[in-house]
DNA sequence: ATGTTGATCTTCT
DNA sequence: GAAGATCAACATC
């Protein structure tokens, strides 16, 4: 019945799961296209106690997926145009989750290129950044609350899968999260994890305040 | 190579 | 009403 092995590593809280996601394979079968990506950079979000988490202020309609069972996909819409995707983990209700930030294409490169709009930049940048990665995988709000299946083979099962989770990376680095403003940013929350030497890992930037709009004179 | 700005809209205060 | 787990284009060096 409720054997813990069935949930497996996804039952770990985000700070423990995050390193396992490095080097793991994410597979999507969306729109009849299979894409497999090897993750190189992730960020952990630690639920209600984490000022950087969407769950910090409690459960809302938007972040409800964070409070779901491990293996839930939490996809959100931001900046009026981008989607970002998390793997919900830990015990149900704790809102522990890992944001997928960057990766490299393992399979389905043509599909990824088309979805990304055939960008002109270097190949390493193709899936460098959470919105780029989600776009390449074909993830949108339609996939919010979907479930990640264990394993690489996707069709004809669920749309999303996670493989190679059990393989711990030989070495990885950790540091402050990118783009997180306020108390959740900075050295006190070294919740960003990446594989050293991977060209797809996005450079660190502080969360810069935007220019004030609608300035009157 | 690094810094600044516009795009675009949902969500919460 | 303002900010946001961002990106791409443009300016300047």
Task: Report CA dihedral (A203, A196, A77, A12) to the nearest 10 degrees.
Answer: -140
Q: For strand B, is any atom closer than 7 Å to the CB of A63?
A: yes
Tell me, what's the pLDDT at A158? 67
Q: For strand B, is any atom closer than 7 Å to the CB of A79?
A: yes
Tell me, what's the pLDDT at A110? 97
Tokens at residue A89, please? 């983990």
Tell me, what's the pLDDT at A203? 74
The CA distances from residue A34 to A110, A128, A198, in Å, are 10, 19, 23
Q: Which of chain C's bases lie under 7 Å from a protein CB?
A: 2-9
Per-residue pLDDT of chain A (217 residues; tens, 9 = 90+): 443 445 689 999 999 999 999 999 999 999 999 999 999 999 999 999 999 999 999 999 999 999 999 999 999 999 999 999 999 999 999 999 999 999 999 999 999 999 999 998 899 999 999 999 999 999 999 999 999 998 777 766 668 999 989 887 889 999 999 989 888 888 899 999 999 999 999 877 777 666 665 444 4
Distance from residue A161 (CA) to nucleotide C8 (C1'), in Å?
30
Return d(Cα A196, Cα A213) in angstroms, integer: 38
Q: Which residues touch strand C (CB under 7 A)?
A: A 43, 45, 52-55, 66, 74, 78-82, 84, 86, 97, 99, 116, 119-121, 125, 128-133, 177-182, 202, 207-210, 212, 214
Task: Show Cβ contacts of residue A202 under 8 Å, excluding neighbours closer than 6 positions.
Answer: A41, A101, A102, A128, A129, A178
Tell me, what's the pLDDT at A33? 94
Domains of chain A, start order: 9-194 (3.10.300.10)
Tell me, what's the pLDDT at A4? 43
Return d(Cα A110, Cα A35) in angstroms, integer: 9
């Amino acid at each position: 019945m409720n054997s813990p092995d069935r949930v497996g590593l996804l039952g770990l809280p985000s700070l423990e799961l995050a390193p396992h996601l490095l080097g793991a394979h994410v597979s999507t079968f969306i729109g009849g296209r299979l894409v497999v990506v090897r993750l190189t950079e992730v960020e952990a979000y630690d639920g209600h106690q984490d000022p950087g988490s969407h769950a910090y202020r409690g459960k809302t309609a938007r972040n409800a997926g964070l409070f779901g069972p491990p293996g839930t996909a939490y996809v959100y819409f931001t900046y009026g145009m981008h989607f970002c995707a998390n793997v919900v983990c830990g015990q149900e209700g704790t809102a522990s989750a890992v944001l997928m930030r960057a990766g490299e294409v393992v399979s389905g490169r043509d599909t990824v290129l088309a979805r990304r709009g055939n960008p002109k930049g270097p190949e390493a940048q193709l899936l460098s950044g959470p919105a780029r990665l989600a776009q390449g995988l074909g993830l949108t709000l339609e996939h919010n609350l979907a479930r990640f299946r264990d394993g690489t083979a996707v069709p004809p099962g669920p749309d999303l899968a996670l493989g190679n989770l059990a393989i711990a990376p030989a070495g990885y680095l950790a540091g402050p999260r990118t783009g997180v403003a306020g108390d959740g940013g900075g050295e006190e929350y070294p919740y960003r994890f990446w594989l050293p030497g991977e060209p797809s890992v996005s450079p660190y930037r502080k969360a810069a305040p935007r220019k004030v709009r609608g300035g009157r004179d």
